[in-house]
Structure 1
């Protein structure tokens, strides 16, 4: 997907298309790492916009989360990470030693018995597996 796709989503909500918002989206689209901290986003953006504050990054990330464009991830005791919502719904396995994560391409909620959630409307859920990756076990 391209930045234009997300710009149209912002415009449809009547939001300004600032150069900073465009750059935040570009950082996620061009990054080889799908999970970025606000500080990592900020570091990449300040190469082009040296005056942009970390607070501005956080405000824009919050806005993009509320719009469903970005997802905030919490991998335990680590700081929040963010990813672009351009893939199917997924979960993660996280190494407790090095912090690397691997996406799980299925949702365990789909395997729950429908009777378990019969009188409950699931609005949001998270499922993360914590352990030690193969590299750290060596």
Structure 2
């Protein structure tokens, strides 16, 4: 099953219609060389094929895809929020973000595993994000 079909099946299973715009949004992520896209990046790609589509529609669809666990929203500090597609069987990860050039690098471990869960009393964690900001090797040169 192709990546696109996998995600379309997830949408259908949850009762969402498979619209051409949703298909194009998923295709934009799957075909992009960039791992992290802003809503505006996505809109600028989709509007070429669907000129009547609004940025609000992109945001609504991004919210649906987040709710279904297909996308994750990332906040890299002073930059706009970005989205990344969760691959089938994806692993939880975090990022190193360069404050000069904005490049990001995935880190394959979760620092939360090292947090003493007893230190967080009377609180049920539902999700978290952990990003480290600094200067990348290229910018240090």
TM-score bracket relative to the smaller structure? over 0.9
- Aligned ranges 1:5-84 → 2 under 5 Å: 5-84=6-85
Give the whole-Å Cα distance in 2 for the aligned partners of 1:117 and 1:6. 35
How many correspondences in the alignment? Answer: 138
TM-score normalised by L of structure 2 = 0.90
Residue 127 of structure 1 pairs with residue 130 of structure 2 = yes
TM-score normalised by L of structure 1 = 0.92
Q: Which runs of 5+ in 2 are unaligned?
A: none
C-alpha deviation, 1:84, in angstroms: 0.7
* 1:92-137 per-position Cα deviation (integer Å, ceiling 9, x unaligned): 0101111111101110111223433465432111110000111111
Q: 2:93 aligns with which of 90, 94, 106?
A: 90
Q: Which has the higher helix share?
A: 2
Give the whole-Å Cα distance in 1 for the aligned partners of 2:112 and 2:121. 13
What is the aligned partner in structure 2 of residue 116 from structure 1? 119
How well do the aligned residues superpose, as a CA RMSD in angstroms?
1.5
Q: Which runs of 5+ in 1 are unaligned?
A: none
Q: 1:136 aligns with which of 117, 126, 139?
A: 139
Give the whole-Å Cα distance in 2 for the aligned partners of 1:50 and 1:117. 49
